Amino acid sequence: MKRFCKVLFMLFSVSFALLFLVACGDDNQEEENGDEKKSAEAKSAEADGEGSDGDKSKWPEKISIGVIPSEDQATVSDRVENFASEMGEELEIETEVFLGTDYNAVIEAMRTEEIDIAFFGPFAYVLANERSDAEVFAIGAESEDDITYKSAIIVPADSEAESLEDLKGKDFLFVDPASTSGHIFPRAKVIEELGVTNDEVESVFGSLSFSGSHDSSILAIANGDADGAAIATDVLNAMLDQGLVKEEDYKIVSESDPIPRGPDAYRSSLPEDLKEKIKEFYYNYEDEQFFEERGIKGFYPVEDSAFDVVRDTAEKLEMSPEELLK
């Protein structure tokens, strides 16, 4: 009997030991599985940019947005400031607005990395692409299928002029040397319609000057301060919508073929993940007052090739960028 009990006790002890080892093995396996799961989650979070500052480590401390002033504008408009502020909140980065004196100032500011994003005229973008490594990513327009506008030559409503020919010897305004619709295209139009050379354009008019902005040129015509002016139709339409001018203030005597609107571009050297965030913000942005100020309905994707027509027109003038910017 004693021997039987002894054997029974030994069997019980062995069984208990085996159960203990199995239980410990399960716990160790669970810990290993748990560690593997945590490791996988950590790697996934790092890949998604969660829980890690690695993605933003290469971002600049702040984003500077370059804009061109409108008529008598000494400060940035509230809508532009609001746009920059909302971008900063969305991207969780400091933002500021850089007010350039003209297109060339904004192009130079991007070249020296003083600004990161800018709204350019079409030709100004072409120059910025060549000089400042600007990369186009968005275009403000009425819709994705309507991304063009025109250059128009306008005269006061009571003017006797009905064509470019009638403006010979008159006081004429271009906008800016780097303006597509305010200089490059209308200059080519003068050469084509009046049969003069590029060097003879200045001699066609009694006086020729640059107003500095489309707004200034349009108001000069509306107020009778100039005989003719080359302007952008999208700016004219925006000023009409805002009640700054009336249709009875002017008449159009010449128009160009469709031109791609001015795009927004960023420095190509910005981190790729930051570029994606900027594009996402632009494409999803909604602010009716801001859009009205720019004469658009929203931002849409655009490719660099859309501006080849601008490059071709500039080349026909046979003038270097330096000559055009004089």
pLDDT in tens, 24-68: 445 555 445 555 544 444 444 444 444 344 578 899 999 999 998
What is residue 194's predicted lDDT score, i.e. its pLDDT? 94
**190, 204 Cβ separation under 8 angstroms:** yes
> Mean pLDDT over residues 111-138, rounded?
95
- Residue 246, Cβ density class (10 Å: 0-12 exposed, 13-18 middle, ≥19 buried): exposed
Distance in angstroms between the alpha carbons of the first and the last residue of the chain: 118
What is residue 15's predicted lDDT score, i.e. its pLDDT? 46
pTM for the whole structure = 0.72
What is residue 42's predicted lDDT score, i.e. its pLDDT? 44
- Average pLDDT taken over every residue of the chain: 84
**146, 233 Cβ separation under 8 angstroms:** no
**To the nearest whole percent, how much of the chain has pLDDT over 70?**
79
- Residue 181, Cβ density class (10 Å: 0-12 exposed, 13-18 middle, ≥19 buried): buried
What separation in angstroms does the CA of 294 have from each of 10, 70, 80, 224?
A: 91, 11, 10, 25
pLDDT digits (tens, 9 = 90+) for 10-27: 444 444 444 444 444 455
> Mean pLDDT over residues 117-137, rounded?
94
* pLDDT category of residue 326 using cuts at 50, 70 and 90: low
H-helix or E-strand containing 41?
helix 2-47
| Residue 141 φ then ψ, to 5° | -155, 180
Q: How far apart are CA 23 and CA 71, in angstroms?
A: 81
Residue bearing tokens 């000494």: 74
Residue bearing tokens 């609107």: 261
What is residue 295's predicted lDDT score, i.e. its pLDDT? 83
**Is pLDDT at 251 greater than 70 in this prediction?**
yes
**267, 135 Cβ separation under 8 angstroms:** yes
**210, 192 Cβ separation under 8 angstroms:** no
Angle at 291 between CA 285 and CA 296, to 5 degrees: 105
Please enumerate in sequence order all residues whose Cβ is within 8 A of that of 247, keeping only pairs 6 or more positions apart, or say none: 240
What is residue 315's predicted lDDT score, i.e. its pLDDT? 86
**To the nearest whole percent, how much of the chain has pLDDT over 90?**
63
Q: How far apart are CA 222 and CA 248, in angstroms?
A: 9
What is residue 16's predicted lDDT score, i.e. its pLDDT? 44
pLDDT digits (tens, 9 = 90+) for 82-116: 999 999 999 999 999 999 888 889 999 999 999 99
- Complete domains list, the chain, with CATH: 62-147+261-324 (3.40.190.10), 148-259 (3.40.190.10)
Q: How far apart are CA 275 and CA 257, in angstroms?
A: 32
Backbone dihedral region of 195: left (phi > 0), alpha (psi from -120 to 50 degrees) or beta? left
What is residue 73's predicted lDDT score, i.e. its pLDDT? 53
DSSP label at residue 262: P
> Mean pLDDT over residues 205-232, rounded?
96
**Is pLDDT at 229 greater than 70 in this prediction?**
yes
